[in-house]
Amino acid sequence: MKNKKVIICGGGTAGHLYPALAVGDKLIERESNLEITFIGSSRQLEKKIMKHHQVRFIALQIEGLRKKGWKALRSLVILPYAFLKSFVILLRLRPQLVIGVGGYSSGPLVLLAAWMHLP
Residue 85: what pLDDT? 96
Say what the pLDDT of residue 68 is. 67
Q: Model confidence over 36-92: pLDDT tens digits?
A: 999 998 888 888 999 999 999 999 988 776 666 666 677 778 888 999 999 999 999
Q: How many helices (DSSP H) and strands (DSSP E) are in the chain?
A: 4, 4
From the number of C-beta atoms within 10 Å of its C-beta (0-12, 13-18, 19+), residue 46 rates as: buried
> What's the CA angle centered on 57, arms 105 and 32, to 5 degrees?
115
Give pTM, 2 decimals. Answer: 0.88
